Each structure stands twice: as structure tokens, then as C-alpha cells.
């Protein structure tokens, strides 16, 4: 799978972008050249040698804040997506197999989560579990899980009644066998696309919670938070939101490219693509006459 993804140009680009982002997340706080919390008298300054990306409304170095916030931002977004994935996709696939009662329960739970007002839920969970970054991620993750639930359930339903699954059932395959061997490969591509989309949403939602004082606390920088505060000073620094926005976009774009690459190399289409290349290579190796339709080449 990994080798086939790297075989595609889009896959290589995606892996390149995402590795750079991951590196930024790991090393960012260490690389920050100045104290990201230090306020200075020169507020809203333009780019200079001292401050590469200028300073914000409190005179803090924007470049340092971006680097320092990269770990929280990326980890947060990934965490949100993974919580959503586990809380959504697993019940989504199993809802098709584990009988009527489980199906009914999970469907109603998903409906409830969709109907729940986001802010009320976030405040309630914070009141219940205390305020903190992991609580905020949990809230957002659980709230995006219906997306994964729906996507994986729909994809599973599409293959669950197919004859090859029934053939495996007739041969005595367990639910685990059927899912691993026949269902998972077909469900993975749409889930990967949903995952990429959720990572993008994660950045924004986590930072929007910061406004309410939930999750990441104000002096702590995040990409989404920087973007939000830059928007407030758009009249003074119209160029300022560009850099955090570009970082978020790069991450989302990389995730989407990766999701597309996963879709391209898995499933029927992907196998045909890879096999047609192999067949082409085979044909070049042993040029045998094609006799289809009575004509030879």
C-alpha cells in the first residue's frame, strides 16, 4: 500500500507536504527564535529582520508564535480526526453486522449527535470533565464522528449484501473475517477522504473554541487562533492572515492529496491501474500477437 502510494506523483507530493508539517509540529517550538509570549512596544509592525513576519497587536513576534503553536495545532487537528474516526467508523461498520438492536442504538446516537447544539455540548463537557486541551479535542472529535459513522456505514451497506461476501459467509467466514477481507478495503477510501476533510475542520473548530475559553487558553498560540486574531486587525495588517492560512491550507491540501492517493491505489480502480501497468510491462517483455477479433498486430 505505502509503496503504491509513493508510486503516484500525487502520493509523493502529499507525503512530502505532510512530512514537512509533521517536522514543523515536532521541532517548531524549539526552532522559535524569540519568546512567543514576550510583548513589545512596537505593536502591529511590518516584516523586518528582527521580526520576519512582523508583530501582532501586543507586539509579539508572529513568526515565533506560528512555530510555537504548530505542535498544538497539528496534534489537535489530528487528535480530533482520530477520535472522530474511532468513535464513528468502527460502530459504522459494525452497525451493519451486529444485529438490529446495535444498529438502532448507534443510528439514534448518531442522530442525537447531529442534532446536538455544538456550543452547548462543548460547554457541558467542559463543566463535566474540566477545562483542557484534551477535553476540547474529545468534544470536537465526538461531534464529527457522525460523519465517519455515516460514511463507513453507507460504504459497508454497499458491500455487505454482495455475493462475494455471501460466498465467504457460506464458507464459514466470521464477521471479523468478512470485514477484514472484503469490507475494509472498500470502506477505507471514503473514510480516508472524510479524515482529510476533518483534519481541516479540526484546525478551525479547535481555535474557535479558544474564543469561549475552552481548550487552548488565550496566550497559547495556535494557527487557527492566530488567523482569528489577525482577522481583527485586517485594516492595519491586511497581509497578516496569509501565513497561518497558508499553513492550514497546506495541511488540508496534503491530507486531501493523500486521501485521493489512497483512493486511487485501493479498490477496484486502483488495482486495475496498477495491474494495467504491470500488464503493459509484461506485454513489452514478451511481444505475442493479439488475436482478438481475428486481427494480428
| Residues forming the site for other proteins (CB under 8 A) | 162-164, 166-174, 177, 181-182, 185-186, 266-268, 271-272, 275, 279
- Taking the least distance from each CB to other proteins, the nearer of 132 and 267 is 267
Residue 131 C-beta: closest distance to other proteins, Å: 46
Residue 98 C-beta: closest distance to other proteins, Å: 12
**Hey, is 90 helix, strand or coil?**
helix
Sign for the pseudo-dihedral over CA of 156, 160, 164, 167: positive
- Taking the least distance from each CB to other proteins, the nearer of 35 and 166 is 166
Centroid of chain to Cα 297 = 49
| Residue 40 φ/ψ, nearest 5 degrees | -130, 160
Residue 267 C-beta: closest distance to other proteins, Å: 6
- Taking the least distance from each CB to other proteins, the nearer of 81 and 261 is 261
Pair 262, 5: CB distance under 8 Å: yes
Residue 188 C-beta: closest distance to other proteins, Å: 11
> How far lies 188's CA from each of 50, 73, 178, 286, in Å?
47, 25, 14, 36
- Taking the least distance from each CB to other proteins, the nearer of 9 and 278 is 278
Residue 284 C-beta: closest distance to other proteins, Å: 17
Residues sharing a CB contact under 8 Å with residue 67, sequence separation 6 or more, in sequence order: 24, 28, 29, 31, 32, 36
- Taking the least distance from each CB to other proteins, the nearer of 246 and 279 is 279
Amino acid at each position: 500500500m505505502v509503496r503504491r502510494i509513493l508510486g503516484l506523483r500525487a502520493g509523493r507530493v502529499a507525503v512530502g507536504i505532510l512530512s514537512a508539517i509533521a517536522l514543523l509540529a515536532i521541532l517548531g517550538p524549539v526552532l522559535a527564535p524569540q519568546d512567543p509570549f514576550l510583548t513589545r512596544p512596537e505593536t502591529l509592525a511590518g516584516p523586518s529582520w528582527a521580526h520576519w513576519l512582523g508583530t501582532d497587536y501586543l507586539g509579539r513576534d508572529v513568526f515565533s508564535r506560528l512555530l510555537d503553536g504548530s505542535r498544538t495545532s497539528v496534534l489537535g487537528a489530528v487528535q480530533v480526526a482520530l477520535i472522530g474516526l474511532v468513535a464513528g467508523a468502527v460502530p459504522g461498520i459494525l452497525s451493519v453486522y451486529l444485529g438490529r438492536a446495535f444498529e438502532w442504538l448507534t443510528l439514534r446516537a448518531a442522530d442525537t449527535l447531529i442534532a446536538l447544539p455544538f456550543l452547548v455540548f462543548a460547554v457541558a463537557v467542559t463543566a463535566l470533565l474540566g477545562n483542557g486541551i484534551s477535553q476540547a479535542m474529545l468534544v470536537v472529535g465526538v461531534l464529527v464522528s457522525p460523519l465517519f459513522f455515516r460514511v463507513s456505514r453507507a460504504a459497508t451497506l454497499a458491500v455487505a449484501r454482495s455475493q462475494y461476501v455471501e460466498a465467504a459467509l457460506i464458507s464459514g467466514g466470521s464477521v471479523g473475517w468478512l470485514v477484514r477481507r472484503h469490507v475494509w478495503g472498500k470502506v477505507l477510501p471514503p473514510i480516508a477522504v472524510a479524515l482529510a476533510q476533518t483534519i481541516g475542520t479540526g484546525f478551525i473548530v479547535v481555535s474557535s473554541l479558544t474564543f469561549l475559553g475552552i481548550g487552548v487558553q488565550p496566550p497559547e498560540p495556535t494557527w487557527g487562533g492566530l488567523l482569528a486574531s489577525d482577522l481583527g486587525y485586517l485594516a492595519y495588517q491586511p497581509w497578516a492572515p496569509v501565513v497561518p492560512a497558508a499553513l492550514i491550507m497546506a495541511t488540508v491540501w496534503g491530507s486531501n492529496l493523500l486521501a485521493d492517493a489512497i483512493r486511487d491505489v485501493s479498490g477496484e480502480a486502483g488495482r486495475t491501474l496498477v495491474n494495467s501497468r504491470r500488464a503493459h510491462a509484461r506485454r513489452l517483455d514478451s511481444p505475442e500477437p493479439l488475436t482478438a477479433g481475428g486481427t494480428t498486430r
